[in-house]
């Protein structure tokens, strides 16, 4: 039997198909979020099935997670993204104790117990300055692609200080830095450090290792290193970090 996890996130919809008996990955799909989450989730789900050569009648249970999880009407049940990321990351990194997840609209720090259950978590969902949206704003303001931000930051010799706690004010601050002649690479390095400091503010210094970084922002080169510097502890990237929520949802679907 095949089980499915659907992560209807704020920026993308992700689908993972698993063999419920062997827990082997059968297929995966991703698409940028649109205005109709229900229709898009169904489209990505069906496209992933077709790509994997799986017919709908072979799919047992479907679990939805993420911001739009309640709009996925064909799911059997919904589970919070906190629980799904915990399950997904622990499947990939069995000894993980702390998860940093930074997505398009929020950032989370999840602490696990020895069995991989969620012990507690902290979440920043009040301001985009601690999320992927902040990175998008910076890239747009600098006129560069998201994929190039890591290379830019790596060239920085004097990272700028970004002190604003609101993305609107931070953008104004960046405009001022540009007008003052601060190099783009120093601004990007400063933004990465600023975002990492927000995670530290949520976590405090008492963070158990191994620490695993996941979510869409984890794909940006240099962000894991910025997190490690801010936490003063090693941080490792989750394999395929955008998909851990959907993976966790699929794992939970296999247990229904």
CB 256 within 8 Å of CB 63: yes
The two structure tokens encoding residue 249: 């949802």
The two structure tokens encoding residue 124: 């920043």
What are the Cα distances from residue 72, in Å, to 21, 42, 82, 137?
25, 8, 18, 29
Query: For each of the chain's 256 residues, which pLDDT tens digit applies?
Result: 999 999 998 889 999 999 999 999 999 999 988 778 889 999 999 999 999 999 999 999 999 999 899 999 999 999 999 999 999 999 999 999 999 998 877 888 999 999 999 999 988 755 554 566 777 778 888 888 877 888 888 898 898 988 766 666 777 888 888 889 999 999 988 888 888 888 788 777 678 999 999 998 888 888 898 899 888 999 999 999 999 999 999 999 999 9
Q: What pLDDT, on the 0 to 100 scale, is given for residue 203?
A: 77
Q: What pLDDT, on the 0 to 100 scale, is given for residue 126?
A: 54
Q: What pLDDT, on the 0 to 100 scale, is given for residue 42?
A: 95
Strand order in the sheet with 107-112: 118-124, 107-112, 98-102, 211-214, 235-237
Q: What pLDDT, on the 0 to 100 scale, is given for residue 217?
A: 86
Q: What pLDDT, on the 0 to 100 scale, is given for residue 220?
A: 83
Q: What pLDDT, on the 0 to 100 scale, is given for residue 166?
A: 66
Distance, in Å, from the CA atom of 106 to the CA atom of 197, rounded to the nearest integer, reads: 14
* DSSP string for 43-98: HHHHHHHHHHT--GGGEEEEEEESTTGGG-TT-SEE--HHHHHHHHHHHHSTT--E
Distance, in Å, from the CA atom of 59 to the CA atom of 74, rounded to the nearest integer, reads: 12
Q: Nearest-CA neighbor of 66 among 27, 40, 46?
A: 40
R_g (Cα) of the chain, nearest Å = 19
Q: What pLDDT, on the 0 to 100 scale, is given for residue 178?
A: 87
Residues forming beta bridges with residue 78, ordered by sequence position: 64
Long-range (24+ apart) CB contacts under 8 A made by 16-19 are 16/243, 16/246, 16/247, 16/249, 16/250, 17/48, 17/49, 17/52, 17/54, 17/59, 17/250, 18/247, 18/250, 18/251, 18/253, 18/254
**Cis-peptide, bond into residue 143, ω within 30° of zero:** no
CB 233 within 8 Å of CB 211: yes
Q: What pLDDT, on the 0 to 100 scale, is given for residue 213?
A: 96
Domains, in order of start, for the chain: 2-90+243-253 (3.30.420.40), 95-238 (3.30.420.40)
Q: What pLDDT, on the 0 to 100 scale, is given for residue 164?
A: 64
Q: What pLDDT, on the 0 to 100 scale, is given for residue 172?
A: 83
């Amino acid at each position: 039997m095949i089980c499915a996890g659907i992560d209807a996130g704020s920026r993308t919809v992700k689908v993972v198909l698993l063999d419920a008996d062997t827990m082997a990955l059968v297929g995966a799909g991703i698409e940028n979020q649109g205005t109709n989450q229900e229709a898009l989730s169904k489209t990505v789900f069906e496209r992933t099935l077709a790509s994997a050569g799986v017919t709908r009648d072979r799919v047992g249970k479907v679990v939805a997670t993420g911001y739009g999880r309640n709009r996925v009407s064909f799911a059997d049940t919904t589970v919070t993204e906190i629980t799904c990321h915990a399950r997904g990351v622990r499947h990939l990194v069995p000894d993980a104790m702390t998860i940093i997840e930074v997505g398009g609209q929020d950032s989370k720090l999840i602490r696990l117990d020895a069995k991989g259950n969620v012990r507690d978590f902290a979440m920043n969902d009040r301001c985009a300055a601690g999320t992927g949206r902040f990175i998008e704003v910076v890239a747009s303001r600098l006129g560069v692609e998201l994929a190039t931000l890591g290379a830019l930051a790596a060239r920085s010799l004097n990272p700028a200080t970004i002190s604003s706690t609101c993305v609107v004010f931070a953008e104004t601050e960046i405009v001022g830095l540009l007008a003052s002649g601060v190099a783009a690479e120093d601004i990007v390095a400063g933004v990465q450090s600023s975002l990492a400091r927000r995670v530290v503010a949520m976590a405090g210094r008492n963070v158990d290792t191994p620490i695993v970084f996941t979510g869409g922002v984890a794909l940006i080169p240099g962000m894991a290193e910025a997190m490690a510097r801010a936490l003063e502890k090693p941080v490792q990237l989750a394999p395929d970090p955008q998909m851990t929520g959907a993976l966790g949802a699929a794992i939970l679907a296999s247990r229904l």
